[in-house]
Amino acid sequence: MNVGFIGLGIMGTPMAGHLIAGGHSLFLKTRRQVPQALISAGGTACACAAEVAERADVIILMVPDTPDVEAVLFGPDGVAEGLKPGKVVVDMSSISPIATRNFAARIAEKGCDYLDAPVSGGEVGAKNAALSIMVGGKAEAFERVKPLFDLMGKPVTHVGEAGAGQVAKVANQIIVALTIEAVAEGLLFASKAGADPAKVRQAITGGLATSRILELHGDRMIKRSFDPGFRIRLHQKDLNLALEGARSLGMALPATALAQQLFSACVANGGADADHSAMVRALELMGGHEIGETPPTGR
């Protein structure tokens, strides 16, 4: 296929690379310069989003937030200006489900299909083509684009109509944040109580408490390795979507609100661009102990 890809950050660059490796022609645009590695692999840099849309049959977006998606789609020289009937726009960003439904309706007016297809798996998943992809939109459009999704990850799930993929992603981000918090509390408790947190983590990975977050982010917490795979400020954005959605639905998400406050404490201490596993630092500040430190005398 002729595929457009807009947004070549730490996630978008490897995702686009997998599509080029899969034999597709890529037309590329990003805020900064298109990575030379993608050009060398056969990708084509475009001057604006409208040019990407003109030259591609499927146009993929991977940008940070709802306003960014709106600007890329409908701003000056945006995707909408380059669309012709029969094309498919695929937003793989994590944004508002409500805005997504509005964007889908506006793209449909141009005779094009719209899929919301947010992902989970972070930088590691993007590099390894192992992203979980949650898709909303028409089934026919999903089937048309699925060969591209299959090159970027698995499982690939058609969740429902427009906006359903974003709803699934918000639910995912709630669960991820609360699991990070649980792993952080457990390992911090173990460390301050005098146990080796690495051995505690090893011991409980075989039981009911095991999870990918315990495996991956628990290891990050112990090794103090917080280079971003998924930044705290981006997870904060996703939890804002959850809390705003909860208010509109007349429901409470108390643990989600707590996780958001812990992220805010990290941001207040300079951690906005740290990996979201660095939530543990907020708990360490409150607990007066850092995972791996020698516990106070008497413990």
Question: Both ends of the chain: CA-CA distance in Å?
Answer: 62
Count of Cβ atoms closer than 10 Å to residue 15 Cβ: 25
Pairing of strands 131-136, 153-160: parallel
Residues designated as active site: 169
Place of tokens 């500040």: 285
CA dist 54 and 268 (Å) reads 43
